[in-house]
Amino acid sequence: MQRFSTDSASRALIYSHRFQDFSFGQEHPFKIDRYWLAYELIGELGLLCLPGVRQIECPMAPESMLTSFHCPDYLATLKEFSADQTPRANFRYGLGDVENPVFPGVYEWSLLGCGGTVEAARLVVEEGVRVAFNLAGGYHHAHAARASGFSYLNDAVVAIQSLVDRGLRVAYVDIDAHHGDGVQEAFYSSDRVLTISLHETGDDFFPNTGFPHELGEGDGYGFSVNVPFARHSDDLIFEQAFRGVVLPMIEAFRPDVLVTQMGVDTLRTDPLSRLEMTTGTIEFATRSFCELDIPWVCLGGGGYCKVNVARSWALLWAILAGAAVPDELPPRFVSTIRKLGYDNTLLRDHPRLAQPNDFARAQGALERSLAILKRRLFPLHGIDLEAER
């Protein structure tokens, strides 16, 4: 485990008003203006002008870095289609379908998201920033030569590879409702990157991967960790998985840098998932990562209710900035979202647990997954089979 100098009071928020220049389309579930809404709420809560807080303009990723993971032919096709005003499609590369539309500037849009994550990693390693949060990061489904799941460039993989090239060990933890399949694919044979994904089960949910038996291969065997959740899993299920797997694995791996994907499509009101979590899970995970005291690259991710995204990431940033915030949304923000058709007034969700029968099924599924991981994974890392947090 390498140690480099960090400023424990320094936090960086990476954002750009250029995000609003792009759109996946009116009917597409991925709404880019969720970033603007999150940024507005963070500002309304007074979280942008605190001591130690830095705002960083999101840069575009250097194209030379992309081939550390992505295939040149795929990149060339993405760039060509992006510059063409005529709709194009190449299904071999996953481009141009309903899921991954080709829209004007899609390549530049992807470079922005990727650039923010690369910059976050640089800030943490070179400038000693304690944690850097790229709202427009976390495109964990992009594969080496295929767009997938609204993701065209895998920013996490490109940034993590840059850290590995420096000789650093990286732990990647993904709490999005969808399995982080692209990141797992990239480092499935590596013992320099620990990938952990907590997500809704892939039995009948995109991307249909992420099962406990997916443990890595070759040198990477034992460094790929998956905890699938049954539908209706709630905050209590999440906390058990986090304490039972995430914390002991990070402690055993002893990474130099932590990278997390903080998707909020796990919330019970998200239209694409069937989990029953609340903003309490986001706050719990954020506080837990903070307590690890590891240089941290924090990324956005999924979330298809725009107000959920804004509320969750504002709470996340408040914790990172060490600021207390009220339970109610600011009146001006309430007025803003009412014009968009939302009637929320609460910043935090009320605590909520799944119905007893749903919880029992989710608990049983979790216990089966934990049993597999403790039996097959923990001995490889010298973790006590009874380890709990």
**Phi–psi pair at 171, nearest 5 degrees:** -105, 125
For the chain, what is the largest distance between any 2 Cα atoms, rounded to a whole number of angstroms? 59
Catalytic residue among 17, 28, 70, 141: 141
CA distances from 322 to 9, 10, 47, 298 (A): 9, 11, 9, 15
Q: Residue 140 catalytic?
A: no
Q: Strands of 7-15's sheet, edge to edge?
A: 53-57, 7-15, 129-134, 296-299, 257-261, 170-174, 193-200, 224-229
Q: What is the CA radius of gyration of the chain?
A: 20
281-320 burial by CB neighbour count: b if 16+ within 10 A, else e? bbbbbbebbbebebbbbbbbbbbbbbbbbbbbbbbbbbbb
Specify whether the CB–CB gap between 60 and 108 falls below 8 A: yes
Cα separation of 127 and 124, whole Å?
Answer: 6
Catalytic residue numbers read 141
